[in-house]
Structure 1
Amino acid sequence: MSAIQPQPISIAPGVGRLLKHLGVTHKLTSVQTSGAYYLCEAVFGPESGSPLHIHHFEDEVIYVLEGAIDVRLDNEKLQAPVGGIIHLPKNIPHALYNPLKIPLKIMVYAIPGGLENYFDEMETALEGGVSDNETFNEISIRYGIEWLE
């Protein structure tokens, strides 16, 4: 049985599946890339971010489209302005933060693909009114994401 050959594709600005609760828009899914990677656009509100966490299954590459990002590691902070790139290998604890008073917009490449399935499950849970950490942790564990705070 042979793998499906990925096809060339063009994604126009503003196109993609928006996950409203998460502020994430799917741009290229692992189905479209034969599992090679997943690409999304994410928006963080002013002075907001994600808690410290680890991705055990995928590397991430973050490209800043608008604003600026701070990435907290164990004892270090990486920063990137518009046009900047941050590479986060799997198994590295990190927290993302928008230090500015304007929204942050980033492109996130997750390699290999599959992270979109995590986002989809989390969005479905949030749409259904789920708000307990136990459910969120169960979903996270299935996708190799460990929350440290």
Structure 2
Amino acid sequence: MSKTERKVVDRDQIEPVCWFGEEGRFLLNAEDTGGLYSFYQITTRPGSGPPLHVHETADEAFFVNQGRYEFEVGGVTEVISAGTVIYGPRGVPHRFVNVGDEPGQLLVIHTPGGVEHFFRGLSALVANGRPDWAKMQELATSHRIRGFQPPPGAHGDLGGPPPGARGGAGAPPGAARGARG
């Protein structure tokens, strides 16, 4: 691990990365924390979220900053609201979906750091709006993520506009209750 320096980040100065109806802003990257963790904000449009998956070597903590989300962690499903944190340990299947009527927002700590590389790759793969699930699964596997499967009936525009973009309200067909990152 390298020596880390003090860093002050203005969220609005961070270029967003978009994937599956979600917009991420990586506030602290692995390079900023000596590889210890990544800290980022995700904004999701209603009905959006990643497919059920497992991080083999990473833990995640999600703080609901705005909205309501249905989380499934280790086979237990529950709806949580703003002000609540939920922990997803490594090796445990998990997913979430924004169940509110407005864009929601999560703050996430992912340890060890480096998940931003996965999301930047994912963003590039869905940039044209037509996901190639084989390539996305290959990317996930390279980042030690298992179970990254398309939701039932998913075969459309899952890249979609970012949550705040005009015309971006609502999830594309087949995206609800399936896409998780």
Letter paired with 2:15: R
1:18-57 CA-partner distances (Å, limit 9, x unpaired): 1133411111100010000001111111132221111112
Question: Which one-letter code corresponds to 1:93 in the other structure?
Answer: P
- Match of 2:102? 102
Pair 70,130 (structure 1): closer, same or farther in 2 beyond 3 Å: closer
RMSD: 1.8
Match of residue 56 from structure 2? 56
Structure 1 residue matching 2:13: 3-state secondary structure:
coil
Runs of 4+ in 1 over 4 A off after TM superposition: none
Hey, what does 1:12 align to over in structure 2? 10
How far, CA to CA, are the matches of 2:99 and 2:40 in structure 1? 21
Structure 1 unmatched ranges of 5 or more: none
1:5-44 alignment, distance < 5 Å? 5-21=3-19, 22-44=22-44
Looking at secondary structure, tell me which structure has more strand per residue. Answer: 1
Q: Which amino acid letter does the alignment assign opposite residue 118 of structure 2? A: Y
Partners of 1:113 and 1:20 in 2: CA distance: 19
Taking structure 1 as the reference length, the TM-score comes to 0.89
Deviation at 1:148, TM superposition (A): 5.4
SS of aligned partner of 2:12: coil
Q: Deviations over 1:32-90 (max 9, x none)?
A: 10000001111111132221111112100101111122211343124331121111101
Unpaired segments ≥5 residues, structure 2: 150-181
- C-alpha change, 1:33 and 1:148, in structure 2 (3 Å) is closer
The alignment-based identity, stated in percent, is: 22
Residue 86 (str. 1) matches residue 111 (str. 2):
no
Q: What secondary structure is seen at the aligned counterpart in 1 of 2:126?
A: helix
The 1-side partners of 2:135 and 2:46 are apart by 27
Report if the CA contact (8 A) 2:52-2:95 is conserved: yes
Q: Which amino acid aligns with 1:90?
A: R
SS of 2:124 mapped into structure 1: helix
Task: Give the TM-score normalised by structure 2.
Answer: 0.74
2:137–2:148 Cα contact (<8 Å) kept: no
Residues 53-62 or 5-14, more deviating: 5-14
How far 1:130 moved relative to its partner?
Answer: 6.3
SS of structure 1 residue aligned to 2:139: helix
